[in-house]
Structure 1
Amino acid sequence: MSDANYPSEKRLKQLVKELKKTKKIKTHQAYDLISQSFGFSSWQEFKPVIELYWKTQISSPQISLDFIDDEDVNLSDEELDDIKNERKSELDKSVKRLVEQNKIQLAKLGVEYSVFEPTLTGFKKSILDATQPVRTHFELEKFHYYFSQGQGPENKVVKNAYLLTSKNTINSKASLYRPNTKKGDPRMWFRKLSEIAIAGDQVAIVIFNDEPYLINISRNIISEELTIDKSPIRALLKAYVDADSTIADELLNKLKKLAVKPFKALRTGDTAIGFTLETLLDIEANSSKLPDYKGIELKAGRGGKNRSNLFAQVAKWDISPCKKDNYGYQRDDDFKLYCTVSTQRSNSQGLHFKYDKSTDQLQEWHDNGELVAIWPGYILRDRLLEKHAETFWIEAESFFIEGIEHFQLKSVIHTKQPIASQ
C-alpha cells in the first residue's frame, strides 16, 4: 500500500470518467478495468483494499458511491444518502479491523502502549482527557504521575514528544496538567497532533527513553511498517524490542544440555519437575515470590493442556467490605472456601468478578448484590510484572524407569514484557 501505487478517490473518479468516454463503457466496467490494472480481478475485490488505503491517509476520506452515477441511474437525495451511509458503515468496520490488527501486532512485539481517541472539541480547545488506561500506562513506565501533580498552569509539565508516520518523525511537545476546574481531572495535549490524526482516530502512545511516541493505528498498518527499512515506526518498535538477551541465551543453552537425555526426578509429587530443574540449574530452593533464574521465572510442567498459575495474590482486606467467612463451607476442622471465580458467570457459591474501570479495581461480588472483596489494579499489575517480567514455560515428558520417574525436556516458550496497561 504505497502512496505511488493507488490513486486518491478524486483521481479514481477522474480515471473512471476518462475510461467511460474513451472506451464507451459503463461505470462498473471502468471500475473493473482499473481494478485489473492494479492486479485485482474485479472492482468488488479491489474496493475494500483501496478504501482502507484512503482511510489510512491523513485527509478525511470521501464516501465512495461504488457504481452509482447520475448518467446511469436517477436516484433521490435520500437514496444517495442511504448508500453513502452504508458505504461509511463498511469503511468504519474496515478501520476497526485495522485497529484490532495493530493492537495484536503491538502485543506480539511485547510493546507497552495505551490508546486515546481525540475529539473535535479536543482539537478545537487543544485538550484531551488523560483516561485511566493512559494514566496507568504513564505510571507503569514511570513517565508521569497525575495523582501527585498539583492543579493549575503553574504545575503544568511539558516534555518532548514525537509523532510518527510512515515517512516522517514530527517533533512535538506533550503538555500534562490538571486544571483548577472540574476537580482537576487529568488533561494532556500533544502539539501538532492534527498532522497525524483527525477526530475519531485511535492513537497509540509508546513510551521509549522517557519520551512519548504517537502512532495513529487507524491509519497505519504496523505489520507493513515493520517491513519498510526507513519507516520511523519500524525504527521505534525495533529499538523498543531489541533488549539484551544474554541471560535468556545462557538459560536456554543450559536447558538444551539437559534435554540431551532423560534425567531422574529428585522428589515425587506435583513439584517434582520444578524442584528437579531448579536443582540441576543450581537454583537454591526458596519460597520467594521473586523470579527463579537471574530475573527469569521458570514454569515447568509435565505437558498436557493444564492451565498454569501466573501468581497468587490475596484481596486487599483493609478496603474489602467482607470481614467474615460468609461464603465459605465447613472443611475438616475449619471454615474454608476453594473455588474458581470468573467475570463470565457466577459460580456455585454465587460469586463473580467485575472490573471497575473508574476505580481501577477487580471486585468480587455476590449474587445478593453484596460487594465481597477488592483487588486494586496496581497490585495485580505489580505482581504480574514482578513474577513474569520474563518467563520460560518448560514442558517435559514424564515416564518411569524401574519405578523411578524420569523427565525428558520437550519444549520451552520464552515470554517477556507483559503489557500490564492492557
Structure 2
Amino acid sequence: MQFNPNEREQELLKQINKIHPKEYALVRLTSTMLHKSIIDASGIIRSILKQGGIVDYDTMSKGPSGKKLLEVTILSSQVYNEKASFYRPVTKKGDPRFWVYGLKRIIHENEMIYMTVLNNKLVIVPLTENGFHLNIIEDYFGLDEALKIKEELLHLISALKARGPVLSESPFKRSAKDVGATLERELGILPNSDKLADFKSKIELKAKREGTRTKDTLFSMVPDWSISTIDSSPKMLQTYGYPSNKYDSYTDLFVTVNHEKNRQGLYLSLDEENGLLHQIYEDEVSGKKNQELQLEVGGY
C-alpha cells in the first residue's frame, strides 16, 4: 500500500497549502478502514488534534466512557457538517482511533484525505478527482494574516527585481552579510537584534549571492542532553570525532547525519509515537546500537 501522495495528490496539496499553510496529516483509506469504520490516530494526527484543542488522547480513558463525539467539516462538492468519534478501545494498549461519519459517501478505497484544524474543528478535504473543489476550499479557509503577509512580500520582491541593480550595503568591501543586509534595507527592514522573523515577525528572510553553493540553515534544534547517552557537545566530539587534517593534536567532527548510517556509524530514527528524533550509533563490528542523542520534535 502506497501511503505517500502521488503526483496528482501532491498538486492538490500545493493548492491547499497556498490557501491554508498550516499543519496537516494525510490518510489513505484502506478497505479495512472503510469496512470497519476505523482509522488509527497516528502520532502526527494526535499532535494536530491536541494542538488544535480538539482531543488529547494522552488524557482520554479507554472504553465508551472516554469516547468523544465532535463536529467535523468535510470540504468536497459542498461543505458537509458531520460528526466524528474519537476513542480508545478497551485493549491492552488502547490504541487511539477515530472515525468520521459520512466519509464513505465521498471517499473510496485507496483514496487519500487531507486533515487539518481550523478554529478548534477538524477539517477534511478529499484529494480525489471528483471530491476536490478549489472554490469551496478557498471560500471556507479564506486568506489568513500569514498568507496576506506572504503575498505582500512577494509583491515587494517582484518590484525590487524589476528595478534592477541597487547599491550594496557594503559597496567598497565585500562582506558575507551584505546581500542579506541590502535586501532588508530595500524592503524597509531596519537593522535589529530581534529574535522574531524578519518580515513583519512572520517570515524569515534568507539571501545569498548568485552562484553560491553553500546550504542555508532554515532552522536548528538542540538535543535534550538530560535524556541522551551523550550529554554534551564536547563529549559528542570526543566520542565520535577524528584527527584534524588542519591542526595537529586537534579533533574534528564535520558530518551529515540522516536516515542512512554515515562513516561514523551515526544515523537518525524518528520515534513518531513519542515525538522524538533519535540519533543512533551503530557499531560496525558488533552491530550494537546506542541512542546517543534525542531531540523533541512534537508538533512537527
Bin the TM-score by the shorter chain. 0.7 to 0.9
Specify which structure has the higher proportion of helix.
1
Matching of residue 208 in structure 1 with residue 128 in structure 2: no
Report which of the two structures shows the higher radius of gyration computed on alpha carbons.
1
- Does the aligned pair in 1 maintain the 2:27–2:114 contact within 8 Å? yes
Among 165, 188, 207, the residue aligned to 1:300? 207
Matches within 5 A, 1:157-236: 157-166=68-77, 168-220=78-130, 222=132, 225-226=133-134, 231-236=135-140
> In the aligned structure 1, how far is the partner of 2:8 from the partner of 2:222?
38
- Secondary structure in 2 aligned to 1:184? coil
Instruction: Report the CA distance shift for 1:270/1:327 in structure 2 as closer, same or farther (over 3 A).
Output: same
Separation (CA, whole Å) in 2 of partners of 1:216 and 1:348: 43
1:57-106, Cα deviation, whole Å (9 max, x unpaired): xxxxxxxxxxxxxxxxxxxxxxxxxxxxxxxxxxx9xx955434434544
What is residue 270 of structure 1 aligned with on the other side?
176
* Residue pairs, 1:399-418, within 5 angstroms: none
In structure 1, list runs of 5 or more residues that go unmatched: 1-91, 382-419
Deviation at 1:157, TM superposition (A): 2.8
Give the superposed CA RMSD: 3.6
SS at match of 1:301: coil
Equivalent-residue separation in structure 2 for 1:185 and 1:377 (angstroms): 21
Q: TM-score, normalised by structure 2?
A: 0.73
Equivalent residue runs for 1:111-190 within 5 Å: 112-166=23-77, 168-190=78-100
Deviation sequence 1:375-401 (CA, Å, 0-9, x none): 2222xx5xxxxxxxxxxxxxxxxxxxx
**1:156: how far off?**
2.8
Look up the match of 1:83. none
Identity of aligned pairs, percent? Answer: 27
Q: Is the 8 A contact 2:169 2:178 kept in 1?
A: no
Q: How many residues align?
A: 277
1:327 aligns with 2:256: no
Residues 163, 196 of structure 1: 8 Å contact kept: no
* Matched residue type, 1:163: I
Distance 1:220 1:334, change over 3 A: farther
Change (3 A) 1:184 1:308: same
**What SS is found at the alignment partner of 1:245?**
helix
Offset, 1:330: 5.0
Amino acid paired to 2:242:
Y
Cα deviation, residue 279, structure 1: 6.0
* TM score, norm. by length of structure 1: 0.55
Among candidates 283, 291, 297, match of residue 377 of structure 1:
297
Q: Is the 8 A contact 1:176 1:187 kept in 2?
A: yes
Tell me what 2:286 maps to.
none
Residue 26 of structure 2: SS of its match in structure 1?
Answer: strand
CA distance in 1 between partners of 2:131 and 2:211 (Å): 37
Conservation of the 8 A alpha-carbon contact between 1:178 and 1:184 = yes
